[in-house]
Amino acid sequence: MSKPMRLLTTTTACLGLALGLATAPAHAANWSDNFVGYRYSPSYSEPGNPETVTKNVLSFTHVSGYNYGQNFLNIDLLQSSSNDPANGGEKHESSTGGATEVYMTYRHTLSLGKITDTKLAFGPVRDIGLTAGLDLNTKNTAFAPRKRLLVAGPTFSLDVPKGFFDVSLLWGKEWNHCGLGAPICPDANVAFDSQWIVGLAWMIPFQAGAVPLKFQGFANYNSKKGRDYAGVETDPEILMRTSLMADVGKLMFDKKNTLWVGVGYEYWHNKFGNRYDGRGNKKPGIQTTAPTLQMEYHF
């Protein structure tokens, strides 16, 4: 299958899953929230690339809860500037030729307290859940990544006054692809070693005078996952993405939780577990510090 067709197939499958969750029968969920999001920054980076990359990111997010747990689905469609070229694209001042990536994350958390009808609260924890899920991605660069990540483990829901704050301790197993060929990637397909992932996710609503605000985001620490395509040892990875959003829809149209606008920040250390190349030199582009502009439309 060609790379454009593979990208289209993955995108179609992700959108199909998104539509299925968003249009599930109302009686299946006690509550749900769907929104389309947008974020922008000129300060992204890519491993092996010494230049900063501008990205426009369109996303769809679905969150829902039922009697025994909850679902989370996010699909990002990332469009890079030409500093991150598509396979066969040329680098120049305009965005023409920039790579397109689709990245999907799905998590399902089953509440142990609810399925056992037992109060599992202790200390700052109000419930314990079992989380399982997957990440999928594809990108039409010469590298041609095709990430497949499975995760599973416990999630501890902390007892916060409003919103939520979850801490997950997950086992992860990743499979991926490199299309550059030898000598850069002697092994096109790699099954990485199992790794441990510590994940935080939060959304804390609050008021600043008459302005409804929310502070939200996630942060992951991923342990080493063995050797990469070139046989180089990977390093631990940290990814944090957070934002401060204002409920503009409530302020302007008296429609609560409809239109949110704000600013965010992304920090990514040792992106994808990269640190050194085969010669022992530190790779460029492995650390991202990107302020972002963001918007969400909930429906």
pLDDT at 86: 95
- Closest C-alpha to 108, from 158, 64, 155, 70: 70
Tallying the residues shown for the chain, one arrives at 299
pLDDT (tens digit, 9 = 90+) per residue, 71-87? 999 999 999 999 999 99
* pLDDT band per the 50, 70, 90 thresholds, residue 12: low
Preceding amide of 47 cis, omega within 30: no
- Least confident residue range of 4-18, 21-35, 139-153: 4-18
pLDDT at 29: 82
pLDDT (tens digit, 9 = 90+) per residue, 106-163? 999 999 999 999 999 999 999 999 999 999 999 999 999 999 999 999 999 999 999 9
| Average pLDDT score over residue span 98-112 | 98
Dist. CA 198–CA 153, nearest whole Å:
10
- Least confident residue range of 2-11, 25-34, 69-78, 186-195: 2-11
pLDDT at 95: 46
Average pLDDT over the chain reads 91
Alpha carbon distances (Å) from 59 to 14, 100, 205, 232: 11, 13, 21, 33
pLDDT (tens digit, 9 = 90+) per residue, 254-286? 999 999 999 999 999 999 999 998 888 999 999
- Closest C-alpha to 107, from 142, 133, 140: 133
**Residue 228 structural domain:** 3-298
Dist. CA 141–CA 136, nearest whole Å:
16
**Does the pLDDT of residue 10 top 70, yes or no?**
no
pLDDT at 92: 46
In the numeric block, which tokens belong to residue 75?
């699909």
Here the CATH number for the domain that contains residue 112 is: 2.40.230.20
Total domains in the fold of the chain:
1
pLDDT at 183: 85
pLDDT at 90: 53
pLDDT (tens digit, 9 = 90+) per residue, 209-232? 999 999 999 999 999 999 999 899
| Average pLDDT score over residue span 90-95 | 47
DSSP state, 97? Answer: T
pLDDT at 68: 96
Ramachandran class of 153: left when φ > 0, alpha when ψ lies in -120 to 50, beta otherwise: left
Dist. CA 110–CA 120, nearest whole Å:
13
